[in-house]
């Protein structure tokens, strides 16, 4: 029976209103970024000129497995005790010194401001991801979302939390460190600058997306088993975010689509109008084997800047992948990477004498593109065009194969120039042409309906 009236929202049962609040607040990708509250040169001058200027936070012990081999606990600086002076005041020590978390030499840090900058500078973190509007709509909707897990999160060692986040649903998106150097690795142990996150938040994060991370999948391919790659970068992320349940390895983002979109599409894309605007919300889709095609089969007299790091240059690893089906390659390498991460964790545990209980979860791994709706639309269009170009080559190749198996009657003319492009394609010998040939003859089959 058709409805003839609509009830006022406030007249709906509470349970139904709460269900609407939940459905109207989908999981988000939250890109948390750092914002320095200090100037580096002023910071360096201050710790050089001011006695006892360096103050360390106890939470640094969470990163100690990365820094304890890089920062000395003692220096050759002479102390007053050597000259007969003494004091009843104990030396400054921010944590209980153990083998797991040894003492840091403050004198050494004062002489190496680039390291001290990573440990004790003033820095805050927040995100431009749209804030769930229902947090600020009315008291009832706000209370309901807070009960469901939304909270201000991601404090640093110097500033409080500033980003609304739901640890059960939202995905933390992390980019590479953009410092002028790579000293953030002294804490993070990886290219992604996670050195300013507080351990209390890191322990609660369940879903992480790592930008520019799919090269690990390339190295996880069984072809490189003899390379003995340790995957310590990814393992450091997993060890610091100890209870991760899902790890998304990000291949492409909106910035990649900007490099291939026509100018009219670029300027027509939606802009975020205010901090609650959901037009630019990010979502993800799995990476597909066909994403190598724009680079392998660009338009005539053109080229594509899109490369799929998880498959290698021009999709080289697909050529030798037996029995290709949709997403079968990624299922295989994701499984292989997870096994290697398990092996690394077990090897660390077996070597670890001072911390025999060292452990972290190995999450499920998925290779994805993370984009706005605009980016997904551009990608879908690019995939379709590339598949169409490959299919056109395939039809020419099939026609040529048919003629070879069924020669023309004697005296009947044949225009060989008409299929010169198809002939040149399948007769290629270099690696690039070999990949193109394989896609025309075999690779495209799972993705078309002939």
In DSSP terms, which residues pair with 209 in a beta bridge?
A: 173, 248
Residue with tokens 């269009």: 381
Residue-level pLDDT at 354? 60
Question: Which tokens sit at 38?
Answer: 């200090």
Q: Are residues 130 and 228 in the same domain?
A: yes
Please identify, among 373, 400, 425, the residue that sits at the C-terminal boundary of a domain.
373
Looking at 373, 394, 421, which one is the last position of a domain?
373
Low-confidence residues in the chain, pLDDT < 70: 1-4, 74-91, 178-182, 226-228, 274, 314, 319-324, 352-357, 407-430, 450
The total number of structural domains that make up the chain:
2
Three-state SS for 36-77 is ECCCHHHHHHHHHHCCCCCCCCHHHHHHHHHHCCCCCCCCCC
Q: Does a structural domain hold residue 106? A: no
- Tell me: do 245 and 354 sit in the same domain: yes
In the three-class reduction of DSSP (H, G, I as helix; E, B as strand; rest coil), residue 291 is classed as helix
Q: Is residue 87 situated within a structural domain?
A: no
Say if residue 355 is in the same domain as residue 440.
Answer: no
Q: Could you tell me how many residues make up the chain?
A: 450
The boundaries of the domain holding residue 412 are 380-447
Q: Rounded to 5 degrees, what are φ and ψ at 315? A: 65, 35
Q: In this structure, are 320 and 414 located in the same domain?
A: no
Residues 6+ positions from 332 with CB-CB distance below 8 Å: 321
Q: Which tens digit of pLDDT belongs to each residue from 41-90?
A: 999 999 988 888 899 999 999 999 999 988 887 665 555 555 555 666 66
Q: Tell me the two tokens of residue 352.
A: 């670890």
Domain boundary residue, one of 373, 405, 425: 373
User: 368-386: string of b/e by CB count within 10 Å (b at 16+)?
Assistant: bbbbbebbbebbeebbeeb
Does 310 reside within a domain? Answer: yes
Count of CB atoms situated within 10 Å of the CB of 7: 10
Give me 356's structure tokens. 């025999």
Instruction: Determine the straight-line distance between the first and last CA of the chain, rounded to whole angstroms.
Output: 44
How are beta strands 171-174 and 207-211 bridged, if at all? parallel
- Where do we find the tokens 């069924």? 406
pTM: 0.88
Is 140 part of a structural domain of the chain? yes
Task: Evaluate whether residue 79 is within a structural domain.
Answer: no
């Amino acid at each position: 029976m058709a409805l003839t009236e609509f009830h006022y929202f406030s007249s709906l049962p509470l349970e139904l209103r709460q269900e609407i609040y939940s459905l109207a607040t989908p999981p988000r990708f939250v890109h948390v970024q750092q914002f320095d509250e200090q100037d580096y040169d002023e910071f360096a001058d201050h710790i050089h000129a001011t006695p006892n200027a360096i103050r360390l936070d106890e939470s640094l012990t969470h990163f100690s497995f990365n820094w304890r081999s890089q920062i000395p606990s003692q220096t050759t600086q002479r102390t007053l005790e050597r000259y007969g002076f003494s004091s009843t005041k104990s030396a400054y020590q921010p944590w209980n010194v153990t083998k797991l978390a040894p003492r840091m030499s403050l004198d050494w840090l004062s002489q190496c401001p680039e390291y001290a900058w990573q440990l004790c500078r003033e820095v805050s973190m927040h995100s431009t991801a749209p804030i769930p509007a229902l947090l600020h709509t009315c008291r009832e909707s706000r209370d309901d979302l807070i009960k469901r897990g939304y909270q201000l999160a991601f404090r640093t060692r110097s500033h409080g939390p500033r980003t609304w986040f739901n640890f059960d649903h939202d995905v933390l998106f992390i980019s590479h460190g953009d410092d002028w150097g790579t000293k953030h690795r002294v804490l993070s142990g990886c290219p992604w600058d996670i050195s300013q996150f507080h351990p209390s938040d890191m322990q609660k994060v369940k879903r992480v997306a790592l930008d520019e991370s799919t090269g690990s999948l390339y190295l996880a391919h069984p072809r490189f088993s003899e390379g003995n790659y340790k995957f310590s970068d990814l393992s450091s992320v997993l060890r610091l975010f100890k209870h991760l349940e899902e790890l998304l390895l990000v291949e492409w983002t909106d910035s990649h689509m900007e490099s291939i979109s026509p100018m009219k599409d670029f300027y027509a894309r939606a802009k975020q109008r205010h901090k609650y605007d959901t037009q630019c919300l990010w979502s993800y889709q799995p990476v597909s084997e066909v994403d190598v095609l724009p680079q392998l089969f660009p338009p005539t007299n053109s080229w594509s800047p899109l490369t799929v790091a998880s498959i290698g240059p021009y999709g080289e690893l697909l050529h030798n992948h037996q029995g290709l089906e949709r997403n079968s390659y990624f299922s295989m390498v994701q499984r292989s990477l997870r096994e290697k991460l398990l092996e690394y964790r077990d090897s660390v545990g077996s070597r670890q004498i001072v911390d025999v209980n060292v452990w972290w979860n190995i999450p499920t791994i998925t290779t994805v593109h993370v984009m706005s709706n605009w980016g997904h639309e551009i990608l879908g269009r690019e995939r379709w065009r590339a598949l169409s170009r490959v299919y056109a080559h395939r039809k020419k190749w099939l026609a040529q194969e048919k003629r070879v198996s069924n020669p023309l009657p004697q005296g009947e003319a044949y225009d060989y120039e008409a299929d010169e492009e198809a002939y040149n394609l399948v007769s290629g010998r270099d690696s690039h042409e070999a990949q193109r040939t394989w896609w025309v003859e075999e690779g495209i089959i799972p993705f078309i309906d002939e």
